[in-house]
């Protein structure tokens, strides 16, 4: 992380500490905390880091956006921050000016295909669209007769079916049948549905890495404070072993998420096989770490970690939810296996050793 990215991450951390503390949000009686937190993030330009100044964004760059996502994961932010960054990125790729406010993006699941017909109307259904019913616009990647396009859609024009993910956050199935976008534009060569899937998977991997870091920190603190049989439970070998494993999972997640963000920031084209290898590996490894890390966290805390009053559940439930977003590790592993098999040993070696 360079100096500029560190400054952006520090700014995000200050905002979340002041307005988005997980314990404060967990004990809040309503959602009055949401508007001040979002406004502060928006005013700081953190929600539009992936969009150039000319298109209404902050122009902070890919690396800075991923730094913000890691901080958001560290605070288990229940906001459409990643979705707004992704939506802005997609619209920006097509040279479209941001509409302002929070966004979500579709499709998010492999196999969901949205189409822009010759009459300028959309068709298709997108599953598991995060926060769709809580934002004003959706950034949509659709197939047109002339190739992939980015389209800006008003949520009010769509049929959003009620739904929530395992963390209790809004997650809708959206029917785009007969919807006319506010505007649309062609995407450059190399940007397609698979590209959006990779960008979304990398974003979720970074959020999960941040959340795992916090799970580790609160588990270690609890083990130092909780006394059983006359001494802190962190002094028991079994607990120490579990915490060491949790540390390993968090470190692995952070390392591969950072590596993937660096690859995306510095790549020349999305067509390179090493980009897919990095993203797939990140979604697979961080997803596995989320499963192992969440389980260990709950083992350290015991039954208290499952209660609504304790913040551990906020992190673990989001880890579970983020594992499934933009396809889970099983789907990415199957696709990675197919590509490796098709390329043979020589192709795999080239991907592993590519600069």
> What is the reported pLDDT for 355?
54
Phi, psi torsion values for 149, nearest 5 degrees: -130, 155
- What distance, in Å, lies between the first and last C-alpha atoms of the chain? 18
Contact 61, 3 (CB under 8 A): no
**DSSP structure string for 195-261:** HHHHHHHHHHHHHHHHHHHHHHHHHHHHHHH-EETTEEGGGSHHHHHHHHHHHHHHHHHHHHHHHHH
> What is the reported pLDDT for 350?
74
Handedness of CA 309, 320, 294, 208 (dihedral sign): negative
Q: Which domains does the chain have, with CATH numbers?
A: 1-77 (no CATH), 102-190 (2.40.110.10), 193-353 (1.20.140.10)
**DSSP structure string for 291-339:** HHHHHHHHHHHGGGGGSTTSTHHHHHHHHHHHHHTTS-HHHHHHHHHHH
d(CA 54, CA 155): 25
Two structure tokens written together for 133: 């019913």
Give the Cα-Cα-Cα angle 154, 83, 19 (nearest 5 degrees): 110
Task: Give SS3 for 96.
Answer: coil
> What is the reported pLDDT for 264?
96
d(CA 337, CA 32): 46
> What is the reported pLDDT for 4?
83
Contact 264, 62 (CB under 8 A): yes
> What is the reported pLDDT for 272?
66
* pLDDT tens across the length of the chain (355 residues): 788 889 999 999 999 999 999 999 999 989 999 999 999 999 999 999 999 999 999 999 999 999 999 999 999 989 999 999 999 999 999 999 999 999 999 999 999 999 999 999 999 999 999 999 999 999 999 999 999 999 999 999 999 999 999 999 999 999 999 999 999 999 999 999 999 999 999 999 999 999 999 999 999 999 999 999 999 999 999 999 999 999 999 999 999 999 999 999 998 888 766 899 999 999 999 999 999 999 999 999 987 878 888 999 999 999 999 999 999 999 999 999 998 898 887 777 777 776 5
């Amino acid at each position: 992380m360079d100096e500029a990215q560190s400054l952006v991450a520090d700014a995000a951390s200050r905002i979340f500490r002041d307005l988005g503390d997980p314990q404060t949000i967990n004990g809040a009686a309503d959602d009055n905390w949401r508007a001040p937190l979002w406004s502060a993030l928006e005013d700081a330009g953190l929600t539009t880091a992936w969009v150039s100044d000319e298109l209404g964004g902050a122009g902070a760059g890919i690396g800075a956006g991923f730094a913000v996502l890691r901080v958001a994961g560290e605070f288990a932010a229940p906001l459409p921050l990643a979705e707004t960054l992704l939506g802005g990125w997609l619209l920006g790729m097509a040279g479209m000016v941001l509409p302002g406010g929070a966004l979500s993006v579709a499709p998010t699941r492999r196999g969901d295909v949205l189409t822009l017909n010759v009459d300028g109307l959309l068709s298709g259904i997108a599953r598991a669209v995060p926060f769709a019913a809580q934002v004003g616009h959706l950034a949509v990647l659709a197939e047109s007769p002339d190739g992939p396009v980015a389209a800006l859609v008003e949520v009010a024009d769509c049929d959003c079916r009620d739904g929530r993910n395992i963390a209790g956050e809004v997650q809708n199935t959206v029917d785009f049948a007969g919807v006319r976008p506010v505007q649309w534009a062609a995407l450059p060569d190399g940007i397609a549905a698979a590209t959006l899937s990779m960008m979304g998977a990398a974003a979720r991997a970074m959020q999960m890495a941040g959340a795992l870091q916090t799970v580790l920190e609160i588990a270690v603190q609890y083990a130092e404070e909780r006394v059983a049989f006359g001494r802190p439970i962190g002094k028991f070998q079994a607990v120490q072993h579990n915490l060491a494993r949790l540390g390993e999972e968090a470190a692995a997640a952070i390392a591969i998420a950072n590596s993937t963000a660096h690859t995306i920031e510095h790549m020349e084209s999305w067509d390179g096989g090493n980009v897919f290898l990095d993203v797939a590996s990140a979604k697979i490894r961080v997803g596995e770490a989320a499963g192992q890390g969440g389980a260990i966290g709950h083992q350290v805390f015991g039954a208290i970690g499952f209660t609504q009053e304790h913040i551990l559940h906020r992190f673990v439930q989001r880890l579970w939810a983020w594992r499934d977003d933009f396809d889970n590790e099983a789907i990415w592993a199957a696709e990675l296996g197919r590509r490796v098999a098709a390329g043979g040993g020589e192709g795999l070696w080239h991907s592993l050793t590519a600069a």
